[in-house]
Structure 1
Amino acid sequence: MAATSVALTPTSSAAVAALPAWSSTSLTLPPLGHLDAYISAVNRIPMLSAEEERECARRWQREHDLEAAGKLVLSHLRLVVAISRQYLGYGLPQADLIQEGNVGLMKAVKRFDPEQGVRLVSYAVHWIKAEIHEFILRNWRMVKIATTKAQRKLFFNLRALKRGLKADASDEDAVRERLSEAEIEAVARELNVRREDVIEMETRMAGSDVVLDPLPSDDGEEVHAPIAYLADQRTEPTAVLEARERERLSSEGIEHALAQLDERSRRIVTARWLQVNDDGTGGATLHELAAEFGVSAERIRQIEAAALKKLRKALEAYA
């Protein structure tokens, strides 16, 4: 068995790491692009008889015999390849599906009890599919589409049923095409779930990933993406500092600038811009201030303009 040189996974050593005790077995990892060669190689590995399988399982269980465990894994790699073909419609590379399935196979071998009277092939199917299911749910969408056990089961069952109902459409189109009310009721009865659960899962499956960051446009113009209006600018550091600076200038700064004016100019600016009448309207008019100081409205306007100019310079110096 030590002379057998077959890859445990078609991609990386991640699957080997799932069971560190097997790392000493003689398993080589071919280049990523040789998936056909990998499948051809595992199909040439002979299957174990029932007696050989039990003997290897006992040696692994009782003595932690690495060569026995390796035989169990290698003889069932073709099973992983066969199961992975059932999940090619999800748009994920078969090599990745096989790798995850191999992780499940090793977990099955680690826990397999030969005294239960069940063949490893029957026991391993659950572990292989579980790992592939988890991989699909992690990678089919950027946002995980199913989290609970019930949602995961509904996801795979609903997808299979929709492909059957939409036989004239491609796999992806069948998933995105909405079910009619009658079809929803039929699916709910078939899967023994609430129609509300079917509608919710169908909505999740029909959705697509949205790019949050803006993508560059061909004409060089800025493209507005969801990140532009989803981000809360109130807590952005620059915005916080600007708000604090405005608050400081509106209180201490204005008070400091007003102190630089003479009494009449200060009174005119305060009455015109910083006071509010009892009815909520703006400050005093030019004519009201002209009557108060005994000059023309034009003269009040000139004083106001000069005072505002001084205020701006004083605020700039204060800032």
Structure 2
Amino acid sequence: MSVSIALSVLDLVPVRTGQTSAQAMAASLDLARRADDLGYRRYWFAEHHNMPAVASTVPPVLVSAAAARTNRIRVGSGGVMLPNHAPLIVAEQFAALEALAPGRIDLGLGRAPGSDPVITQLLRQSGTTGDVDRFPDNVRDIASLLTAEGATVRFTSGGTYDVHATPAAVGTPELWLLGSSDYSAQLAAALGLPYVFANHFSGDGLERALDLYRSQFQPSETLDAPHTFLTANAVAAASDDEADSRMLPQARMMARLRGNRPLVPLETVEQAAAAEASDGLAGPMLDGIRRRWFIGTGPDVRDRVARFAAAHGVDEVMISPVAAARDTEPLDAASGRIQTLELLAA
């Protein structure tokens, strides 16, 4: 690369046609092991619910499994959708993960629901836990709970009560805020937290969000200067044609999401090519995707990612490897995604 940058991985644990959840998870854990071997900095799991093509519903469980199968790489959430969960539960889960894999745990927090309104309502049946307006307070509570000192509950009637995420913490997960809006950038700046712009989801407003974060940043006990990186969808292959072929199933899924069409498991390369020839589902999106995503041969994608990082002043890019599988590839492996990571790390 022309600029030295760190690479990381964002995994939604894609589920392809005919694949079970167990096989999809096995493929992702194999990908995490390979990322560890290749020198990637982090491996994060997203939180999404009730989607046939996505098995990353419970980041803490997947983080635990990945931590047990890797040696060096940082593992974490990208992110836990905090309004779906009680802050104490999140703090306890990630404090336990930190105890299991000291110095390797990241806790990325987001404010979005990660699903449709019906599932959101089911996830938030616990009452005030699901109050999105309390998101800043809940982030502060988690930050306190994760420390060795813990947090203090103050009763309106007088008196206090000490609360700890674990009885005897000796380390703290690295806390990040995730988002794709001005709100998340400004909150991360106000709290003095590191920030990730979800460019893989929506590149709109990237420059403004980074400017707000950097210009409004307030130093904290854990961070004295702004610290940020970006996410990006990528497919690297031996040829441009192969990269385009492996990109198409994910593009078609995005077209389904944006067009409010019924969701299905991720198509294979061959299924997507046959369907696109008749229904043109992703056709109107393809030019835009080719501009925003990083698709091509290894050297080309590596160079473009490096220039992207340099243009936005970051030293790390988190890749979401969206290369789909072929019909003949094993159901418990992620050959296209592994190829992407290997070519980018070359």
TM-score bracket relative to the smaller structure: under 0.3
Which structure carries more helix by proportion? 1
TM value normalised by structure 2: 0.21
Which structure carries more strand by proportion? 2
TM value normalised by structure 1: 0.22
Higher RCO, 1 vs 2 (CA within 8 Å, ≥6 residues apart): 2
